[in-house]
Structure 1
């Protein structure tokens, strides 16, 4: 059963009760990373292992996402700033306990590559907040693996061009 979450805005990234922030340097330039995040939405399962389906909705203003284990989200895109930022809010989820969730991807040029920073900002019931904080190491590993695979994918695509 889908649960409606609070329709928070971008400011929630800075004020959320749970903020998990991860960063990594990629060799790909910001434009390539942005395209993979915001324009090649259906390509997410190829590089982010936890994602089994990702597709645009509402003429690109939203996304439908399914994760391993069956969690499903309907999202609204909050920011799509080419080569700089991509952020979305979860509007509905089929998992209990969440109240609000926004994810933000910031892209900063770093030499010839990109510093990618992912912020997972959430509010949830107390047990879920505790579980999210305890999951930080695993989420960090998932981020590292996903961005590593994304960088490999973008390098391979650039070599084929």
Structure 2
């Protein structure tokens, strides 16, 4: 059953009780990365292996996300400032114990590439916070794998068939 979470804003990223921050360099330009994150929401399933469904809602102001294992999120996009930052808040989820959750993707130019920083900011029950801290290594691995897969995908030349 989905539960409504506390409606927090972007300031929550710096104030959350649990903040997991991961960073990785990509060879793709910030504009390309931003497009993949913010404008090609359905494309997440092709590079983020944990994501089984991703679709924009409310004309792009929201997202519906489903993960391997059945976790579901209904989200509100908090900021989509090309090519610097893309952030969203989880409004409802079936994840037990969650009370507030924001994810922020910061994109910083690095030569011809991009430094991608992902912050997972959360609050919840004591058990939820404990499990998130235990899951840090797995979330970090999922982030690294996703960014690596996205970088490979963005490096492929367009075949002209509409599938990149």
Give yes or no for TM over 0.5: yes
Quote the residue 2:31 is aligned against: 31
CA distance in 1, matches of 2:157, 2:19: 33
Quote the residue 2:89 is aligned against: 89
Quote the residue 2:125 is aligned against: 125
Quote the residue 2:78 is aligned against: 78
Paired residue secondary structure (1:6) = coil
Question: What pairs with 1:47-58 in structure 2 (closer than 5 Å)?
Answer: 47-58=47-58
Structure 1 regions of 5+ residues with no counterpart?
Answer: none
The alignment's C-alpha RMSD in Å is: 1.3
Quote the residue 1:21 is aligned against: 21
Structure 2 regions of 5+ residues with no counterpart?
Answer: none
Q: Runs of 4 or more off by more than 2 Å in structure 1?
A: 157-161
CA distance in 2, matches of 1:123, 1:67: 19
Quote the residue 1:44 is aligned against: 44
CA distance in 2, matches of 1:12, 1:20: 13
Give 1:96 deviation, angstroms.
1.4
Number of corresponding residues: 161
Give per-residue Cα distances to partners, 1:92-151, cap 9 Å, x unaligned: 001210000000000000011000000000001001101100110111000000000000
CA distance in 1, matches of 2:152, 2:64: 25
